[in-house]
Chain A
Amino acid sequence: MQFGWRPGYANRQRKLALLTFLRTLTVVISLLWVAALAPPIFEAERASGLDFVLQNSPTAQKYLIETMPGGVALLDYNHDGLLDIFVVNGGHVSSPMPVAENFERHDPRYWNRLYRQNKGGTFTDVTQQAGLADAGDGNYGMGVAVGDYDNDGFPDLYVTSYGKNVLYHNNGDGTFTDVTAKAAVAGGGWSVSAGFFDYDNDGKLDLFVVRYMDWDTRHSKDCGGNYHTYCPPEEFPATTNLLYHNNGDGTFTDVSQRSGIAAKKGRGLGVAFADYDGDGFSDVFVANDGMQQYLFHNNGNGTFTELGLEAGTALSEDGRRLSGMGVVFQDYDNDGRPDVIVTELPREIYGVYHNDGGGSFSYRSLESGLGVLSSGSSGWGVGLEDFDNDGWKDLFVAQGHVLDNVESIDHSLHYLELPLLAMTHEGRFERVDSGSTTPVAGRGAAFGDLNNDGWQDVVMTYLGGHPQIFLNHGGKAHWLSVTLRGSHSNRDGFGARVQVNGQTRFATSAGSYLSASDKRLHFGLGTAEKAKVEVVWPSGIHQTLNDVPADQFLEIREPEKP
Chain B
Amino acid sequence: MIHALLIALLWFGPQALSPEASEHMQAGIAADKQHQFDAAIAEYGKVTELEPSFADGFISLGQAYMEKHDFASAVAPLKHALELDSSSAAAHRLLGYSLLAQGYAAEAIPHFERVQDKTALGIAQIQTGQLPEAVTNLQAALAVHPNDPDLLYYLGRASGLLSKQSIDSLIAAYPDSARAHQAMAENYFVLRQMPEAEKEYREALHLRPDVPEVHLELGEVYAGSFQWAKAEEEFRAQSKVQPGNAEAAYRLGAALLEQGKVHAARAELARADRLLPDMPETLYSLGKAASLDGDATAAEKEWTRLLSIEKESSLAAQAHFGLASLYRKQGKTAAAQREMQEFQRLQGGSAQPQAPGKQNSQP
A residues with a Cβ closer than 8 A to B are 223, 229, 232, 234-238, 265-267, 290-292, 309-310, 312, 314-315, 317-321, 345-347, 356, 360, 362-363, 366-369, 371-372, 375-376, 401-403, 406, 409-413
Contact = CB atoms under 8 A, between A and B. Distances in A.
Contact of A366 (B194, B292, B350): B292
Contact of A411 (B195, B226, B320, B360): B195
Nearest to B265: A366
B321 A375 contact: no
A319 B317 contact: yes
Interface in B326-363: 328-329, 340, 343, 347, 350-354, 356-360, 362-363
A58 B194 CA distance: 29
Top 4 A-B pairs, shortest CB-CB distance = A319-B321, A232-B360, A376-B226, A238-B353
Contact of B321 (A237, A265, A318, A371): A318
15 contacts: A234-B353, A234-B356, A234-B360, A291-B353, A317-B292, A318-B288, A318-B322, A319-B343, A345-B362, A347-B362, A362-B325, A366-B292, A369-B259, A372-B260, A376-B226
Interface string B178-201: 000000000000011111000000
Contact of B258 (A366, A402, A410): A366
Contact of A234 (B292, B321, B354): B354
A412 B340 contact: no
A292 B352 contact: yes
B260 A375 contact: no
B225 A412 contact: yes
Nearest to A234: B358
A290 B353 CA distance: 8
Nearest to A320: B318
Contact of A372 (B194, B259, B291, B340): B259
A235 to B, nearest CB: 6
Contacts of A371: 258-260
B354 A291 contact: yes
Interface in B286-332: 288, 291-292, 317-318, 320-322, 325, 328-329
Interface in B111-169: none
A252 to B, nearest CB: 27
A354 to B, nearest CB: 11
B195 A375 contact: no
Q: Is the interface of A mostly helix, strand, loop or mixed?
A: loop
Nearest to A322: B351
Contacts, number: 113
A412 B363 contact: no
Interface residues of B, number: 40
B257 interface: yes
A309 B340 contact: yes
A240 to B, nearest CB: 11
A367 B262 contact: yes
A411 B188 CA distance: 11
Contacts of B322: 317-319
B228 interface: yes
B224 interface: yes
Given A292-B351, A406-B363, A375 B226 contact: yes
Contacts of A406: 363
A376 B226 CA distance: 6
B326 to A, nearest CB: 10
Contacts of A367: 260, 262, 292
A409 B363 contact: yes
Given A234-B358, A366-B260, A412 B353 contact: no
A410 B191 CA distance: 9
A36 B317 CA distance: 45
Interface of B: 191-195, 224-226, 228, 257-260, 262, 288, 291-292, 317-318, 320-322, 325, 328-329, 340, 343, 347, 350-354, 356-360, 362-363
A151 to B, nearest CB: 37
Contacts of A347: 362
Nearest to A403: B363
A483 to B, nearest CB: 37
Contact of A291 (B292, B329, B351): B351
Given A312-B325, A318-B318, A321-B351, A290 B363 contact: no
Contacts of A238: 353
B275 to A, nearest CB: 24
A58 to B, nearest CB: 16
A306 B317 CA distance: 22
Contact of B363 (A229, A315, A363): A229
A360 B328 contact: yes
Contacts of A372: 226, 228, 258-260
B350 to A, nearest CB: 8
A315 to B, nearest CB: 6
B194 A412 contact: yes
Contacts of B288: 317-318
B289 to A, nearest CB: 9
Contacts of A369: 259-260
B192 A410 contact: yes
A360 B328 CA distance: 8
A314 to B, nearest CB: 6
A235 B260 contact: no
Most buried by A among B193, B228, B260, B292: B260
Contact of A375 (B192, B194, B258, B320): B258
A402 B360 CA distance: 13
B342 to A, nearest CB: 11
A411 B258 contact: no
A235 B325 contact: no
Most buried by A among B318, B325, B329: B325
A85 B258 CA distance: 39
A372 B256 CA distance: 10
Contact of A290 (B193, B292, B317, B360): B360
A539 B195 CA distance: 58
A425 to B, nearest CB: 14
A267 B320 CA distance: 26
Given A319-B343, A345-B362, A375-B258, 10 more contacts: A235-B359, A237-B356, A318-B318, A321-B351, A346-B226, A360-B329, A372-B226, A411-B191, A411-B192, A411-B195
Most buried by A among B194, B258, B350, B356: B356
A317 to B, nearest CB: 7
B192 A412 contact: yes
A511 B350 CA distance: 27
B285 to A, nearest CB: 10
B363 A411 contact: no
Given A229-B363, A369-B260, A410-B363, A236 B356 contact: yes
B328 A312 contact: yes
B337 to A, nearest CB: 9
A406 B363 CA distance: 7
A235 B363 contact: no
Contact of B353 (A267, A315, A413): A267
Contact of A376 (B225, B257, B362): B225
Contacts of B359: 223, 232, 234-235
Nearest to A369: B260
A319 B318 contact: yes
Contacts of A310: 328
B297 to A, nearest CB: 17
Nearest to B354: A234
Contacts of B318: 318-320
B226 A291 contact: no
A292 B288 CA distance: 20
